Structure 1
Amino acid sequence: MGSLTNKGTKIEGTGGREAEISSSAPQNTSTGKEHDEIDAPDHASIALPAHAGGLAGSGTLDRLVDTARDYAKASTAENTNKAYAADWKHFARWCRRHGADPLSAPCPNPELIGLYLTELAAPTNGAPAPSVSTIDRRLSGLAWNYAQRGLALDRKDRHIATVLAGIKRQHGRPPVQKEAILPEDILAMVATLPHDLRGLRDRAILLLGFAGGLRRSEIVSLDRGKDDTPDSGGWVEIIEKGALLTLNAMTGWREVEVGRGSSEQTCPVHALEQWLHFAKIDFGPVFVGTSRDGKRAYETRLNDKHVARLIKRTVLDAGVRSELPEKERLALFSGHSLRAGLSSSADVDERYVQKHLGHASAEMTRRYQRRRDRFRVNLTKAAGL
């Protein structure tokens, strides 16, 4: 692969073309140690005003600075923080390979970022190109990381905007949607589970996740009561008619009402009550780990990856979409299949589904509805044809 130098130089190997970069491109003279510092997420400088550094050594203000950094870090979800950190490391490594420095003036360098996006879309090392949505996400990650350093990345700069527009036009594809888990599927899936503690827990996860239209992170972040743990993402209140979930979701706080089902075998609230009773959970995380023999409940909160693994395992065990090879079946389903299943199956007014899922727009809700009648409103006939 070619290199990037400082004097009107070129980066070779971007799909057989040579992309010129101005003499203002940064030159990399950093040591390996400095590279490591560039790679690492800069939590010490996250989202603080420039004068905050002058407050050090003042006792109470020191603690306020630390708390402000914690709040700044909590402004985005943990998974988003991890993704943005990985985006920055990827970009920094790419810059090093080309003899550039992502933090040298001009900073940010739109030309450098435009070339980075080009090589993402047209890799020269034979590696598969990431999807357009991944490329767009990486650009968002760079913008976020620069913003935490007090620098503004102009995504509308022609060196970035025109390259990204070309990538989307040439490589863009419709989004790949995960398969919806339908009512008959979820019933077959829970029927495969044992009746020990682990089975009770997993049954409650599947039924509550489906009936609540919950994200996998929302499921495992639930606590038994309000303010039980610092890492809580919401809590559960069980009443006569059902369960009221208060969630700190991606779009802010929202309440989700999960009504009781038509029978105990299919009722998400009954499944939740059974799990809480036999696991003796009256405080802290609702969904926790269990012993291997399924007889004891621990205190440690489950990771959201457990939900994805549970869905894939029970899909296979229940024979859902058994006409397909196992690898394809596993690829079809994920944690979002529960949300898509509820929105596709609930035969009610769309606005109620939108509120239940916490969507800001009806269009987003429609993306989840795999079985909706797209021609329920016929504008052709309405227009007189």
Structure 2
Amino acid sequence: MQTLSPEVPNWRAEFRRLEGAYAPATIRSYLGDIAAFEAWCAEEGIAPFPAEVDTVCRFIEDQGIEKAPSTVRRRLYAIRKVHRLLQMPDPTHDEEINLSLRRVRRSKAIRPRQAKGLTRDYLDRFRATQPETVIGLRNRAMLSVGYELLTRRSELVALRSDDLEERGDGTFRVLIRRSKADQFGAGRIAFTSTRTAELLRDWLEIRGPEVDWLFCPVYQGKPINRDLSTTTVKRVVKQAAVRAQLDATDVAAFSGHSMRVGAAQDLLKRGFDTAAIMRAGGWKSVNVLARYLEHAEHNVWA
């Protein structure tokens, strides 16, 4: 076993090289993952870098006791990234590590938890629960845009005024610039309905031209020129579910992704095929979309 060395490379400084090449959220995740690896190594009395194959295997299997397989895999990638940045021998491609990762996945062979779909009927109810305030106006527009554009939470809060183009028929053409499946920012185009366009115009009139972000925080009735957190999107959905007097189990099942899930389910019920739904929502994986749609399939022929 490799014992703890007093000389620990300054990997945090090297991580600055990732800025601009990776999303800020990815870099933050890597930093947290490496901090977890360092803390584990300190408890074990092991030098974290350069890591030995046995060290990484033990770390993976120990983390797999409580962490999701996706989290364990991400932490493995973070360890790999540090070794590459520091130009150290990379132990993470060894077959023993692959076997450890497979053990973690097999030990938690459960289906991923799926967010409850915020379908059109829920959308109408959730919009109706919003108060007649500036925040309520923002929330109605945000729920509508999130549903019709099938946005991820991160895509919704990243929208800016410049991403909207009003069309002759009164609707909006919207450029969704970036998502986790579109790391180089090619973006996709989506369109609102006239109903959502009306809600957007009402919100934009109150928000004013001095705010860059499409949806922004509201403090004491006044819009603030900064972006919302993705947590705010989740909170708006949850609070609307509570106001709609839904069962506590249903409230817990809704998330910030529920608008995207529900819209995809509604498109399936309306007869759109998988390819069309994938284009509408910017999906790259059929498997991911299939999980979203499976709860709608039993109603397709109703």
| TM-score, length-scaled by structure 2 | 0.88
- For 1:332 and 1:191, locate their aligned partners in 2 and report how far apart those are by CA, in whole Å: 20
- Which of the two has higher C-alpha Rg? 1
Offset at 1:282? Answer: 5.8
Q: Which secondary structure does the structure 2 equivalent of 1:257 belong to?
A: strand
> 1:220 Cα deviation (Å)?
1.2
Q: Deviations over 1:100-121 (max 9, x none)?
A: 1111xxx232110001112223
Give distance in 1, aligned partners of 2:51 and 2:90: 6
- Assess if the C-alpha contact under 8 Å between 1:180 and 1:370 holds in 2: no
CA contact (8 A) 2:33 2:78 kept: yes
Count of matched residue pairs: 292
* Partner residue, 2:6: 30
Q: Kindly state the Cα deviation for residue 278 of structure 1 after the two structures are TM-superposed.
A: 1.8
1:309 corresponds to which of 235, 241, 253: 235
Q: Which residue of 2 aligns with 1:45?
A: 14
2:56 partner letter: I
Give distance in 2, aligned partners of 1:161 and 1:111.
12
The structure 2 residue matched to 1:97, chosen from 16, 33, 43, is: 43
Higher relative contact order (CA 8 A, sep 6+): 2
Provide the C-alpha distance between the structure 2 equivalents of 1:330 and 1:373, rounded to a whole number of angstroms: 22
2:225 partner SS: strand
User: How far apart are 1:372 and its partner, in Å?
Assistant: 4.2
- One-letter code of the match for 1:110? V
* Separation in 2, partners of 1:26, 1:240: 69
Which residue of structure 1 aligns with residue 58 of structure 2? 115
More strand, by proportion: 1
Offset of residue 283 of structure 1:
5.2
Counterpart Cα distance in 2 of 1:281 and 1:152: 53
Could you tell me which amino acid in structure 2 is paired with residue 248 of structure 1?
R
Change (3 A) 1:97 1:362: closer
Quote how far apart the aligned CAs of 1:319 are: 2.4
Q: Gapped runs of 5+ residues in structure 2? A: none
What residue is the counterpart of 1:185 in the other structure? Answer: 122
Report Cα offsets for 1:41-61 as digits up to 9, x if no partner: 62x3248xxxxxxxxxxxxxx
| Alpha-carbon offset, residue 287 of structure 1 | 1.2
Identify if the C-alpha distance between structure 1 residues 95 and 339 changes in structure 2 by more than 3 Å, giving closer, same or farther: same
Give per-residue Cα distances to partners, 1:23-65, cap 9 Å, x unaligned.
xx3321428xx6xx76xx62x3248xxxxxxxxxxxxxxxxxx
Contact 2:116 2:253 in 1 (8 A): yes
- Percent identity of the aligned residues? 22
Letter in 2 for 1:236: L
Give the aligned partner of residue 19 of structure 2.
73
SS at match of 2:217: strand
Q: TM-score, normalised by structure 1?
A: 0.70
Q: Deviations over 1:340-376 (max 9, x none)?
A: 0110011223222101111124333222214443899
Distance 1:243 1:99 in 2: 59
